[in-house]
């Protein structure tokens, strides 16, 4: 699925849409919460399972995503807090806990990129990933190198 950064952000009613992932629109809702819309259905992101449609965002990379979000909210100070509160831990947790191949976990490891705060929050999910029988040697080595960091 193709991920497209929307600039300038599309504002509809009280929602600000920042990213298109195929037919899915990702943005900030009226109360500053991250949400996505598919057709007429809007979903607030509150648990890991909610992030399944957002997995292709991992292909974009963390730095590119946050650069886009920062640029998009420059003229909208009311969205500054939302920009800092993207539920990336939920997205990464879903990639680590729900995958049955190494594709999304490897993309999540790229996103994680030794961000110590994220590593600390996701250490349990990373350890659980290591117990999966399908984990490739490449993924196992990357996870082990992160899990063994002293934080």
78 pLDDT higher than 90 = no
78 and 96 part of one domain: no
Instruction: Tell me, yes or no, whether 37 and 95 share the same domain.
Output: no
The closest of 107, 111, 106 to 137, measured between CA atoms, is: 106
For position 84, what pLDDT does the model report?
85
Number of domains in the chain: 2
- Residue 55 sits at the vertex; the CA angle it makes with 146 and 134, to the nearest 5 degrees, is 55
* 128 and 77 co-located in one domain: no
Is the model's pLDDT at 19 over the cut of 90?
A: yes
- Decide which of 115 and 4 is more confident: 4
The last residue of a domain, from among 34, 65, 84: 84
**Residue range(s) defining the domain that contains residue 40:** 1-84
Structure tokens at 29: 């809702």
DSSP β-ladder status, 24-28 and 34-38: antiparallel
- CA 97 centroid distance within chain: 14
In the beta sheet, which residues pair with residue 38? 24, 41
Whether 80 and 92 share a structural domain: no
Q: Looking at residue 25, what is its pLDDT?
A: 97
Structure tokens at 64: 């590119």
92 and 136 inside one domain: yes
What is the per-residue pLDDT across 90-148, written as a single tens digit (0 to 9) for each? 999 999 999 999 999 999 999 998 688 899 999 999 999 999 999 999 999 999 999 88
Confidence at 151, pLDDT banded by 50, 70, 90? low
Please name the residue that has the structure tokens 């990357």: 142
What's the whole-number average pLDDT of the chain?
Answer: 92
């Amino acid at each position: 699925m193709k991920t497209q950064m929307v600039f300038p952000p599309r504002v509809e009613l009280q929602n600000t849409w920042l990213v298109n992932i195929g037919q899915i629109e990702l943005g900030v809702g009226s109360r500053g919460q991250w949400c996505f819309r598919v057709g007429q259905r809007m979903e607030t992101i509150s648990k890991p399972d909610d992030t399944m449609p957002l997995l292709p965002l991992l292909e974009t990379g963390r730095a590119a995503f946050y650069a886009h979000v920062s640029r998009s909210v420059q003229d909208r100070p009311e969205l500054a807090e939302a920009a800092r509160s993207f539920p990336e831990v939920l997205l990464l947790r879903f990639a680590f806990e729900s995958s049955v191949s190494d594709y999304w976990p490897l993309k999540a490891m790229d996103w994680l990129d030794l961000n110590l705060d994220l590593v600390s929050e996701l250490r349990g999910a990373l350890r659980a990933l290591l117990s999966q029988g399908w984990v490739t040697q490449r993924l196992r080595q990357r996870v082990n190198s992160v899990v063994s960091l002293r934080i």
